Amino acid sequence: MFETLTQRPAARNFGAGLSLYLDAFDPPETLSQAALTTVGIDVIPPLLAALADRGLSVHVTHDLSYLETIRDNSGGGMQIVKVNDPRFHPRAGRNDTNVMLLARGDELLGCIASRLLWCEQSLAEELESGRFWVSNPASMWTEEDRCVTNSLTARSITSCPVVYCGSIYLDPSIRGGNTLAAMCRLHCLWLVCHWRWSWLVGFIETGLLHHHAFDIYGADLVEQGLWLTRDDAELHHYHVVLTRRLAAMNAWIRPEMGDLSRPLGRPPRSILPREAPELLRRSAAR
């Protein structure tokens, strides 16, 4: 099915370990035929077409070093959190790492990355101890590194696989329109179709919370909050963004996922076929 979805662009010379999205998209047979049909016909083609209209090709790798390349070319516009930093995860690879990249010609201009992690203790304990962030806390999580969370859900998630999703960046030249939404939806599809996990977790700043958490990222639940040190000793505040796998399957494996005019936070068209314009909704509420 996926071999004929859309025309593949010419291969680019980015280096080893990089594949076109369609070449990398190879879900296991455990995914139902109905789900594969929806993804392969209704969702992936329009998302790839929307990015192709902007001259962008979509690539997948399991090599975190590509994030360093984009960061180094971003002029300080991108940061890499430790869980996605190859310095702290030298053994990250195909089984636990996925990086999706946007390119225009031979230039990498956008990215989003995910890690598949095991939470032996509660997610909150893994976060606060450093085990979530680095592969060897004894040598990599220093006295200056701190993480504090008051998320009740994070304290209830335990002994299960979770996916961290982050390192989202778009070069200023490709921002605007539906680029971010298309990139995030394609990445979410890859995660839900290829990996087995119980929860997807991310962290978002307050300024991006209202629009991005639900309409762009398709979050199931948002909690306050998480405080984390970065390159300084200051604790930076984030909201905890959580999505259960069942909610992800219901929200992402449906035709509406391919319609970029419809935010992810909306119910299916069978329930909410259309909405009144914002002005009419406000008038009706008076």
Phi/psi of residue 68, nearest 5 degrees:
-65, -40
Average pLDDT for 1-22: 64
**pLDDT band at residue 15 using 50, 70 and 90 as cut-offs:** low
Structure confidence at residue 233 (pLDDT): 81
Locus of tokens 């929860």: 199
Q: Across the chain, what does the average pLDDT equal?
A: 88
272 pLDDT band, cuts 50/70/90, is low
DSSP secondary structure letter of residue 216 = I
Q: How far is Cα 247 from Cα 39, in angstroms, rounded to an integer?
A: 16
Provide the residue ranges of all domains of the chain, joining segments of one domain with +. Answer: 2-267
The SS3 assignment for 103 reads strand
State pLDDT tens for residues 183-196: 999 999 999 999 99
Residue 280 predicted with pLDDT over 50? no
Question: What is the pLDDT at residue 30?
Answer: 80
pLDDT in tens, 36-69: 999 999 999 999 999 999 999 999 999 999 999 9
Q: How far is CA 278 from the centre of its chain?
A: 29
Neighbours of 91 (CB within 10 A): 9
pLDDT at 12: 56
Q: Are 233 and 150 in contact (CB under 8 A)?
A: no
Number of alpha helices (DSSP H) and beta strands (DSSP E) in the chain: 11, 9
| CATH number corresponding to 2-267 | 3.40.630.30
What residues are paired with 58 via a beta bridge?
102
Collapsing DSSP to helix, strand or coil, 251 comes out as: helix
Give the E-state strand segments of the chain in sequence order.
18-20, 57-61, 97-104, 107-122, 147-149, 158-170, 199-204, 221-229, 235-244
Are 105 and 12 contacting, i.e. CB atoms less than 8 angstroms apart? yes
Cβ neighbours for 226, distance < 8 A, ≥ 6 positions apart: 127, 147, 148, 149, 151, 203, 237, 238, 239, 240
- pLDDT(178) > 70: yes
Alpha helices (H) along 7-52:
21-24, 33-37, 44-52
Task: Give the SS3 label for residue 132.
Answer: coil
How far apart are the two ends of the chain, measured CA to CA in Å? 51
pLDDT confidence band for 284 (50 / 70 / 90): very low
- Please state the pTM of the whole predicted model: 0.87
